[in-house]
Amino acid sequence: MKNQFVLNCLTFTGLLLLFSCNNDNKLDKKKVKIITPSSIKTDIKSTDDTLQHYYKLLMENKIEQIHPNHFINATQNYLLFYRKYPNDSFAPVCLDKAQQLYTQQKKYALALKYTDTLLKHYPNYKDNPTLLVNAGSICDAILNDRKKTQYYYQKLITQYPSIDKETKEMVEFRLKHIDLSFDEMIKLQSKK
């Protein structure tokens, strides 16, 4: 009698699992999304539009901040595109957008990681000089890492000797006074 009860319970549990698994499979088939460059670009366009909308609201003082999930969704889409389609001409743009969002969120280690990835894998990307200036500035003014500041600025001067005069002078001045902290360098500059 006891064995029959246990057998009935096991049979009932097995049937429940069988039916619940069958129902989940039917739902999963409906949820499958085929990932293509076009589908990810559509998602990126949507998240970019959402961020742009919230930036506008922020500038109009209608909201106090943008919810972090919007940044997370955007960076996930950018990095998904880069990882899936690294040879696509849109891949470096995605890395650039990801590093910009990480910088805005003050996630500087991630911003620098994707800046370095971009510089390494896409040496001809049109905005590399700007990336080097920004990375050097982050390392200098925010992270107080003079070695990294020197690395990015030296790379900028070496690889892009024809950058605009103002940027070149600023970077050369900083490299000349790399032994000073950022604040000390600002004081020195203000004395001139």
What is the rounded distance in angstroms from the CA atom of residue 125 to the CA atom of residue 132?
Answer: 12
The domains of the chain are located at 33-107, 127-192
pTM above 0.85, yes or no: no
- Give the burial class of 66: count Cβ atoms within 10 A of its Cβ; 0-12 exposed, 13-18 middle, 19 or more buried: middle
- Residue 157: Cβ within 10 Å count: 16
pLDDT tens for the chain, 192 residues: list them: 554 554 444 444 443 343 444 444 455 555 677 889 999 999 999 999 999 999 999 999 999 999 999 999 999 999 999 999 999 999 999 999 999 999 999 999 999 999 999 999 999 999 999 999 999 999 999 999 999 999 999 999 999 999 999 999 999 999 999 999 989 988 888 887
